[in-house]
Chains A and B, each alone.
Chain A
Amino acid sequence: MLLRVENLSKAYPGPEGPVPVLRGVGLQLRAGETLALRGESGSGKSTLLHLVGGLDRADAGRIAIDGQDVTGLDDPGRAALRRGTVGVIFQQFNLIPSLNVRANIAFQARLAGRHDAARAARLADALGLTAQLDKYPEQLSGGQQQRVAIARTLAARPALVLADEPTGNLDEATAAAVMDQMLALVAETGAGLMMVTHSPDLAGRLGRQLHLRQGRLA
């Protein structure tokens, strides 16, 4: 089992005490499997992705990736997890502003020790970024930035891809191309993919769909 989440809970501090966001979420994902995560805005989709991606700590419950319990990892352990095992694509502001597109695409792969220049070039081409390679993030449109972030994650070939509305600000054709690339990676490396999306079309291309409602999965 690539990912096993059991009984996960998370609350954020509010003005009148803690506000629970996730209340005992459980799910499983096998290698090569794809999963669409849906739910209303504010239902806790991003929160769940952050917890699985080793970006924040859960209040209770257990997350195991590749059989290893990651819930109790310390800061360096989580950092290693983010470097080597999971790849997170955020809704926005993903890029390192001081590096150009080429360096941004290579960044995570180099951190993980899996850099392959030919593969990075191929991804840039497939996502229509070849002309932007020497530009800096501030010189790109929001959609271009998002494609760079996706290329970066795919170039690093993580075992688990976590994508948070990655196609939110892309047009339909580009969104479809992005989807192709993600599914190609899954097919090629057997990675697992968990993606938050509002689009029924995109969700339909993934193997399973889960709904997050009132802190629980349905």
Chain B
Amino acid sequence: MSSRRSRSRQSSSSGISDDQIIDLVSKLQQLLPEIRNRRSDKVSAAKVLQETCNYIRSLHQEVDDLSERLSELLANSDSAQADVIRNLLMQ
């Protein structure tokens, strides 16, 4: 009769099962630091996607900041180079 909107059936036509998507979304959920800390199972898929976008953006921002700091460190100290080489040799 009436469609149950709890699971969106939009993607059934392309051959992807809803269960697959739910699995993938929950897998993604485990990677997000915020949601993982909250220990709540009742996070909607939209929230997971939203948090994912936020998380990716924050990671990009961290890469930017760390690049700047590294650039300053490389410029300022010669001992930095020795440390870097030491790290490289210890891998």
| A and B co-occur in one complex | no
